[in-house]
Amino acid sequence: MSTAASDSTNLGDGSTPMILAQQVCKNFGSLQVLKGISLEVTRGEVLCMIGPSGSGKSTFLRCINHLEQVNAGRLYVDGDLIGYREKGDRIYEMSPRAAARQRRDIGMVFQHFNLFPHRTALDNIVEAPTQVKKIRKADAITRAKELLDRVGLADKADSYPSQLSGGQQQRVAIARALAMDPKLMLFDEPTSALDPELVGEVLGVMRELAASGMTMIVVTHEMGFAREVADQLVFMDAGVVVESGNPREVLANPQHDRTKAFLSRIL
């Protein structure tokens, strides 16, 4: 990752936000999906993002790890500009290799767990650290076992995804992301594909992760989680941040009609 001053907002004094989005815009053809998203997540903070289907939540997360190119604006993670290099007032896209290097520090967990079906839980977790980070297999296995224990699945190391419940698969997916020692974790509706009785166990793992100091952005409609765990709640609609703030305040006393209408539909 470049440390050139022009590519970095790192102040070197601990006050650099973990995530800084400045007027991020994203179009798909003529469709404007993100229309200038600005937000900031401090180290150790949890931001929950809510909003109607199609409002751009997943697209925004995908821009943070440069799975999507932005059309305008800037995204910084831990002070480093994501996906681009700045030269003067112009920006140039990074090589795929450099972007992949940045992406290693960003854990992502999706609605569908995307585990390798032909590998055990343990092997799913060991894969990236050994292949991408070149960590010794024995060390990666030790760490994977610790992570399985952390997500409550110490006894499932040798199970294949098809032998695990959805909630268990999602906990393996979280352990897999953690195995890369990410600086931050992005969750895109991690519980919305789960049977209701399995939601709690996944939220429990995420709660523990938040308590351990992990910086997280969580797209979710689990308002109990947002209320208790999040430091910020962001309501997005049609590609803009309509309202954000302390989750308890936003949920109890939404200021905008669009927020009120959305919350009345889901609460």
Quick count: other Cβ atoms within 10 Å of Cβ 116? 12
55 touches ligand ATP (CB under 6 A): yes
Rank residues 108 and 178 by Cβ distance to ligand ATP and give the closer one.
Answer: 108
Query: Using CB under 6 A, which of 18, 37, 56, 210 touches ligand ATP?
Result: 56
Pairing of strands 232-237, 46-50: parallel
58 touches ligand ATP (CB under 6 A): yes
Pairing of strands 184-188, 215-219: parallel
Q: Find the shortest distance in angstroms from Cβ 65 to ligand ATP.
A: 14
Pairing of strands 106-109, 184-188: parallel
259 touches ligand ATP (CB under 6 A): no
Q: Which does 5 bind (CB under 5 to 8 A by kind): ligand ATP, Mg ion, none?
A: none
Rank residues 80 and 189 by Cβ distance to ligand ATP and give the closer one.
Answer: 189
CA atoms of 243 and 46, how far apart (whole Å): 16
Q: Find the shortest distance in angstroms from Cβ 216 to ligand ATP.
A: 17
Within residues 51-80, the interface with Mg ion by CB under 5 A covers: 58
User: Facing residues of 39 across strands?
Assistant: 21
Q: In 138-168, which positions are buried (b, 16+ CB within 10 angstroms) versus exposed (e)?
A: eebbebbbebbebbbbeebbebbbeebebbb
Per CB under 6 A, residues contacting ligand ATP are 28, 31, 33, 51, 53-59
Per CB under 5 A, residues contacting Mg ion are 58
